Structure 1
Amino acid sequence: MIRTPLRPLARILRARERGENPDEIEAENRRLRHEAIQDQARRRAEGRLILMASCFVLAFGTVGLRMGALASSEPSEPRAQVLSAKIMSQRADITDRNGRVLATNLLTHSIYAHPHQMVDPQRAARELARIFPDLDQQKLLRDFTGSRKFLWIKRKISPEQMQAVHDIGEPGLLFGPREMRVYPNGHIASHILGGSGFGNEDVSSAEVLGVAGVEKAFDNWLRDPAHDGAPLSLSIDLPVQAAMEEVLGSGMTVMNAKGAAGILMDVSTGEILAMSSLPDFDPNDRPRPLLKGDPSDSPLFNRAVQGQYELGSTFKIFPVAQALDLKIINPNSGITTTTPMKIGKYRINDFHNYGPQLSATDVIVKSSNVGTVRIAQMLGPERQRDFLDDLGLFDPTPIEMVEAPTGQPLVPKRWPAVTAATVSFGHGLAASPLHLAAAYATIANGGKRVSPTLIHGRTRPEGQQVLSPRAAEQAVAMLRQVVTRGTARSADVEGYEIAGKTGTADKPRPNGGYYKNKVVSTFASVFPASKPQYVLIVTLDEPTSRSANGESRTAGATAAPVAAELVRRLAPLIGLEARTDEKLPQIAARFQPHVEPAPADEIKLVSNK
């Protein structure tokens, strides 16, 4: 800014020439300068006032808009958000298909110690060992009197235990809040749920992680806060599951079995209503896995999913159903059953000599190994292998459990004539009871492929048409006759039209060959046979039935009666009423007019050498 001089020389000279007073020029310039300064100050003040007014308008306008938004919104409880929290302890519940709680969270406490703050370490160690008998008093004392500054005592305790520790009065013993996973039904559905453990943890919280079963398979889903605490709804029905475990446990005891597995599956959806493996465990106190020996000796081993068994004569319906589908045979076709039958260096026998010929239906009813092999030979190895693959017997089941991949069936790499023969009657290919349940469900579902699932109400794509509906109906009719007049007569339950097949397979030795007195007995069934709704599989590991007639290890004497008792207990729980109009035997009669009893099935495969 250029300042105008108060006494400019040119004007002063001109004023003196005209006789004017030069002081007036200075006074006028001083006045103009003061006016300019005042105008500048006024403009600055006006600008500041405008800026302050704008700020006030903006601030009060924002507050007003926020108040209006809050006034028009739904009221809700405030939620604390900690974006920097490293440990997420929230975990969704798991329920059965009807909303009954199978797994939930419980607020509890942990105990930890600051040894350097302790007044009487010796007394603290003694009292803790009294409250928690699994703790070592001497080890606690060494830890309390050592150089450690921090020590976990117990990760989770009950309120009673917390009060007992509090009564010790030791300032070096401290409590931290945390959530723990609780399974209120104890052993029930333990293999399905799997269990949980702690991941990242500190003194005030702990991360709960799934370690097995659906807890592990859905770990991310269960911990995802985006689901807003919605529970994971499983397909199992808690009362049905409890009843299955009770009956199966009793059957396992009566039959002197080492282990047992049971599966109840909905034919149309593949949803599993109950699945049990015995012996089992309590997921609230999950045992440690075995580090050596046979994995199946551990209660953690899931026989229904992980068990790889040669399932014996339950496989015989597969080549027969395929041959019916391809119209190679019909239920009344005569099949040569002359025994023994030779394939290369091997000789295949039947338990009894059934004569030179049986109908295709009686091959299943009497459980003829030779007749089944004859039908498999009509199919050829390639077609037989492709059909078993279509049934899902070559791949792990798609069940939503982390254990599913470990149940990979043991399938022969080569498929020569002798393999095709032995596989036709359930030897040489090892699969889990769940594989068998899915395969039988496919037959019961009109030949449409069924995949097992543990999730309730999930929409799934329609399965592949593996068999024609007509062939599937004929196969079920044959299985019904196995129960009414064949090897599974002990499985017949009046009013429920059980259709099924027994299978008794010798257990393989770890170093080759088979045991002579150890078997896996299985009964695979469908009911009601006239309109199949459910598949039931019962497998017993090393059973022995003792009666006045002596000992028996066949499925007809062990697994079949257990399955019958299961149907009696489970059918009313699933809303299935007993029927008095037995329609299926009339349907089956047109496939097989004559009726003859047949003994229990047995497999013999002997080398000619």
Structure 2
Amino acid sequence: MIRTPLRPLARILRARERGENPDEIEAENRRRRHEEIQDKARRRAEGRLFLMAACFVLAFTTVGLRMGVLASSEPSEPLSQVMSAQIISQRSDITDRNGRVLAMNMLTYSLYAHPYQMVDPVAAAEGLAKIFPDLELADLKKDFTSDRKFMWIKRKISPEQMQAVHDIGEPGLLFGPREMRIYPNGRIASHILGGSGFGAEGVSNAEVIGIAGVEKAFDGWLRDPANNGAPLALSIDLTVQSAMERVLDSGMKLMNAKGATAVLMEVDTGEVVAMASLPDFDPNDRPRPLLKGDPSDSPLFNRAVQGQYELGSTFKIFPVAQALDLQLINPNSGINSKSPMKIGKYLIHDFHNYGPQLSATDVIVKSSNVGTVRIAQMIGVDRQKEFLKDLGFFQATPIEMVEAPTGKPLVPPRWPAVTSATVAFGHGLAASPLHLASAYATIANGGKRVAPTLVHGRKRPTGEQVMSTRAADMAVSMLRQVVTRGTASRAEVEGYEIAGKTGTADKPRPSGGYYDNKVVATFASVFPASKPKYSLVVSLDEPSVSVGGGGESRTAGMTAVPIAAELVRRLAPLLGLEAVTDEKLPQITPRIATRVEPGSEDAVKVVSNE
């Protein structure tokens, strides 16, 4: 906008010519300018008043409408938003598959001190030393009489201890509310749960975080308020888990073993029903990890998941099952078992001399190293590696535990002929008992890949078909004969048709080579053989049991097998499996009756019917 000058030159000159006063022109222009300014200010004020009036009208209309809605609605009790937020912020419970609590939160208190507020520091120190014997009296006196303004005394205390501290009557001793994680079943399933601790903490609250096991694997989920406090349901059964740990502990002591582990898994779903590792610990008082030495010496070490063991002859069923799948052999095929067998400069022996030939079934039943290697040679290195990879032996298990990646199998970097031979009978490749349980579950599941899980009821994709159902059925039939007439005869439990394979592997030295008198004894099994529902693996670290004549035995048939049999005897009724009498047992007959010369190119696979 162009402003009009107060003294326009043209008008001033004309006014002077006419003898008029030029100041009147300036006064007139100044008056007009002031009138314009006032008009503009008035319009602005009117606009603001109109806007304010509109806002008041809108506000009163909204309030009136809301009052009308409330007046026409049903009355209800208001909820406390603060209390709701506190409940939602808690860490979710962990339960077993039946809803029984494995881990939960409990309100407790912390104890801290303000030494500068203490009336009698020495008496306070003496009182605390009596309540908490683990506290040093001299240290308490020194701290309470120093210039310290604040100090922690106990991160969590029981109600009884809190009352005892109250009775001291010292104003400088203070309490802070907080939640703590408790495990009401103590040591049961300790390696699965893992444990928890405090993260960020203050005098009035503390953050509970998972530090191992499923507590850490599901830490974000357990702390997520969006879950509304819903519990995490694990696949384990508390009753079965407790029974497994009791039997395994007794068996470990009876067999003088350094450690023991067992895994029980559903073959259809891969859900782990029970998994134990001994020695164990109490997650309510989790011990400190070892800083040096053998990690397996620590009770925190989970042998089922983290243990990397050469699992011995339990591996023999894999090349045999693969050869059946490839139609290279059938159960009656004759296999050269002449011992010793030479590969390069190495000799491979059998424990006994089984003669020049065994059937493929008897290679498994008698646990022939030579026969197994002959079958592996038919398969070839590349196909052998691919099959073991399909079974999961080249990667860590997908079990929902933070320890799972540390249990990745130790696979040979090179696979010459001798490595292929030793891997065929369970040496040279180290894997966890959980890997073995999954692989046996895959065979028992008709050849469909089974991946282990600790979460109950989660829908999972169907595993890939690793081998044909017919080959898997024949493999289970062979494993059954290992129990009925082979190296695992002590595993026979009437009515439950256990099928399995023993494995006794020399324990490797950290410096190289193997110990002369230390082994890992393993028994891998499935049951019932006619319709497998569960796979069970039992493994003992350095067992040794006395036998007749004053000698000692370390073989799996004498150590791991009896424990597995007792586990099935105790656990099968808890799992709802009814013992089947001989009259009710299904008859196993071949689907194909055609017989050909064992080992010939025209050999036809024989498969068992239920």
- State the TM-score bracket (shorter-chain normalisation): 0.7 to 0.9
In structure 2, relative to structure 1, the CA distance for the partners of 1:269 and 1:500 (3 Å cut) is same
> What is the CA deviation profile of residues 241-278 of structure 1, one whole-angstrom value per residue up to 9, with x for unaligned ones?
00000000000000000000000000000000000000
- Opposite residue 576 of structure 1, the aligned amino acid is L
Partner residue of 1:126?
Answer: 126
> What is the CA deviation profile of residues 368-417 of structure 1, one whole-angstrom value per residue up to 9, with x for unaligned ones?
00000000000001100100000001100000000000001000010110
Partner residue of 2:63?
Answer: 60
Partner residue of 2:28?
Answer: none
Partner residue of 1:579?
Answer: 580
Partner residue of 1:451?
Answer: 451
Q: Is the 8 A contact 2:187 2:281 kept in 1?
A: yes
TM-score computed with the length of structure 2 as normaliser = 0.86
Partner residue of 2:351?
Answer: 351
Partner residue of 2:502?
Answer: 502
Partner residue of 2:479?
Answer: 479
Partner residue of 1:218?
Answer: 218
Q: Is 1:197 matched with 2:200?
A: no
Give the Cα–Cα distance (whole angstroms) in 2 for the partners of residues 585 and 351 of structure 1: 33
Q: How does 1:9-408 map to 2 (within 5 A)?
A: 54=57, 57-64=60-67, 67=70, 71=73, 77-80=79-82, 90-408=90-408
- Opposite residue 128 of structure 1, the aligned amino acid is L
Question: Which secondary structure state, in structure 1, belongs to the residue aligned with residue 81 of structure 2?
Answer: coil
Question: Which secondary structure state, in structure 2, belongs to the residue aligned with residue 522 of structure 1?
Answer: strand
Q: Is the 8 A contact 2:509 2:515 kept in 1?
A: yes
Question: Which secondary structure state, in structure 2, belongs to the residue aligned with residue 198 of structure 1?
Answer: strand
Alpha-carbon deviation of 1:68?
Answer: 5.4
Q: Is the 8 A contact 2:88 2:229 kept in 1?
A: no
- Opposite residue 80 of structure 1, the aligned amino acid is V
Question: Which secondary structure state, in structure 2, belongs to the residue aligned with residue 240 of structure 1?
Answer: helix
In structure 2, relative to structure 1, the CA distance for the partners of 1:119 and 1:66 (3 Å cut) is farther
Give the Cα–Cα distance (whole angstroms) in 2 for the partners of residues 73 and 286 of structure 1: 51
- Runs of 4+ in structure 1 deviating by more than 3 angstroms, as ranges, are 46-53, 72-76, 581-591
Partner residue of 1:566?
Answer: 567
Q: Is 1:420 matched with 2:417?
A: no
In structure 2, relative to structure 1, the CA distance for the partners of 1:49 and 1:485 (3 Å cut) is closer
Alpha-carbon deviation of 1:424?
Answer: 0.2
> What is the CA deviation profile of residues 11-59 of structure 1, one whole-angstrom value per residue up to 9, with x for unaligned ones?
xxxxxxxxxxxxxxxxxxxxxxxxxxxxxxxx99x98997698367425
Alpha-carbon deviation of 1:129?
Answer: 1.1
Give the Cα–Cα distance (whole angstroms) in 2 for the partners of residues 56 and 398 of structure 1: 59
Partner residue of 2:554?
Answer: 553
Give the Cα–Cα distance (whole angstroms) in 2 for the partners of residues 175 and 334 of structure 1: 78
Give the Cα–Cα distance (whole angstroms) in 2 for the partners of residues 75 and 485 of structure 1: 73
RMSD between superposed Cα atoms in Å: 2.4
In structure 2, relative to structure 1, the CA distance for the partners of 1:165 and 1:588 (3 Å cut) is farther
Give the Cα–Cα distance (whole angstroms) in 2 for the partners of residues 466 and 544 of structure 1: 37
Question: Which secondary structure state, in structure 1, belongs to the residue aligned with residue 446 of structure 2?
Answer: coil
In structure 2, relative to structure 1, the CA distance for the partners of 1:68 and 1:377 (3 Å cut) is farther
> What is the CA deviation profile of residues 299-356 of structure 1, one whole-angstrom value per residue up to 9, with x for unaligned ones?
0000000000000000000000000000000000000000000001100000010000
- Opposite residue 563 of structure 2, the aligned amino acid is V
Question: Which secondary structure state, in structure 2, belongs to the residue aligned with residue 80 of structure 1?
Answer: helix
- Opposite residue 477 of structure 1, the aligned amino acid is S
Question: Which secondary structure state, in structure 1, belongs to the residue aligned with residue 377 of structure 2?
Answer: helix
- Opposite residue 424 of structure 1, the aligned amino acid is A
Give the Cα–Cα distance (whole angstroms) in 2 for the partners of residues 50 and 383 of structure 1: 86
- Opposite residue 566 of structure 1, the aligned amino acid is L
Give the Cα–Cα distance (whole angstroms) in 2 for the partners of residues 396 and 47 of structure 1: 73
Partner residue of 1:530?
Answer: 530
Give the Cα–Cα distance (whole angstroms) in 2 for the partners of residues 216 and 66 of structure 1: 48
Query: More displaced, 50-59 or 466-475?
Result: 50-59
- Opposite residue 297 of structure 2, the aligned amino acid is D
Alpha-carbon deviation of 1:192?
Answer: 0.2
Give the Cα–Cα distance (whole angstroms) in 2 for the partners of residues 172 and 89 of structure 1: 31
Alpha-carbon deviation of 1:569?
Answer: 0.5
Give the Cα–Cα distance (whole angstroms) in 1 for the partners of residues 278 and 498 of structure 2: 24
Give the Cα–Cα distance (whole angstroms) in 2 for the partners of residues 590 and 368 of structure 1: 27
Give the Cα–Cα distance (whole angstroms) in 2 for the partners of residues 74 and 244 of structure 1: 52
Give the Cα–Cα distance (whole angstroms) in 2 for the partners of residues 49 and 146 of structure 1: 64
Give the Cα–Cα distance (whole angstroms) in 1 for the partners of residues 423 and 350 of structure 2: 15
Q: Is the 8 A contact 2:264 2:535 kept in 1?
A: yes
Question: Which secondary structure state, in structure 1, belongs to the residue aligned with residue 310 of structure 2?
Answer: coil
Alpha-carbon deviation of 1:516?
Answer: 0.9
Give the Cα–Cα distance (whole angstroms) in 2 for the partners of residues 98 and 294 of structure 1: 37
Alpha-carbon deviation of 1:123?
Answer: 1.1
Q: Is the 8 A contact 1:89 1:208 kept in 2?
A: no
Give the Cα–Cα distance (whole angstroms) in 2 for the partners of residues 421 and 282 of structure 1: 43
Identity of aligned residues (%): 73
Give the Cα–Cα distance (whole angstroms) in 2 for the partners of residues 331 and 584 of structure 1: 20
Give the Cα–Cα distance (whole angstroms) in 2 for the partners of residues 185 and 537 of structure 1: 24
Alpha-carbon deviation of 1:139?
Answer: 1.1
Give the Cα–Cα distance (whole angstroms) in 2 for the partners of residues 235 and 49 of structure 1: 64
In structure 2, relative to structure 1, the CA distance for the partners of 1:89 and 1:47 (3 Å cut) is closer
Alpha-carbon deviation of 1:77?
Answer: 2.6
Give the Cα–Cα distance (whole angstroms) in 1 for the partners of residues 358 and 241 of structure 2: 41
Q: Is the 8 A contact 2:544 2:552 kept in 1?
A: yes
Give the Cα–Cα distance (whole angstroms) in 1 for the partners of residues 422 and 375 of structure 2: 12
Partner residue of 1:21?
Answer: none
- Opposite residue 294 of structure 1, the aligned amino acid is D
Alpha-carbon deviation of 1:454?
Answer: 0.1
Alpha-carbon deviation of 1:147?
Answer: 1.8
> What is the CA deviation profile of residues 470-496 of structure 1, one whole-angstrom value per residue up to 9, with x for unaligned ones?
000000000000000000000110000
Q: Is the 8 A contact 2:192 2:213 kept in 1?
A: yes
In structure 2, relative to structure 1, the CA distance for the partners of 1:471 and 1:48 (3 Å cut) is closer
Q: Is the 8 A contact 2:88 2:228 kept in 1?
A: no
Q: Is the 8 A contact 2:210 2:219 kept in 1?
A: yes
In structure 2, relative to structure 1, the CA distance for the partners of 1:107 and 1:47 (3 Å cut) is closer
Give the Cα–Cα distance (whole angstroms) in 2 for the partners of residues 336 and 486 of structure 1: 19
Give the Cα–Cα distance (whole angstroms) in 2 for the partners of residues 304 and 424 of structure 1: 22
Give the Cα–Cα distance (whole angstroms) in 2 for the partners of residues 543 and 257 of structure 1: 4
Question: Which secondary structure state, in structure 1, belongs to the residue aligned with residue 309 of structure 2?
Answer: coil
Alpha-carbon deviation of 1:62?
Answer: 4.4
Q: Is the 8 A contact 1:491 1:560 kept in 2?
A: yes
Alpha-carbon deviation of 1:144?
Answer: 1.1
Question: Which secondary structure state, in structure 1, belongs to the residue aligned with residue 124 of structure 2?
Answer: helix
Give the Cα–Cα distance (whole angstroms) in 2 for the partners of residues 538 and 473 of structure 1: 22
Partner residue of 2:15?
Answer: none
Partner residue of 1:11?
Answer: none
TM-score computed with the length of structure 1 as normaliser = 0.86
- Opposite residue 456 of structure 1, the aligned amino acid is H
- How many pairs align? 547
In structure 2, relative to structure 1, the CA distance for the partners of 1:56 and 1:402 (3 Å cut) is closer
Give the Cα–Cα distance (whole angstroms) in 2 for the partners of residues 365 and 233 of structure 1: 40
- Opposite residue 556 of structure 1, the aligned amino acid is G
In structure 2, relative to structure 1, the CA distance for the partners of 1:136 and 1:105 (3 Å cut) is same
Question: Which secondary structure state, in structure 2, belongs to the residue aligned with residue 220 of structure 1?
Answer: helix
Alpha-carbon deviation of 1:125?
Answer: 1.1
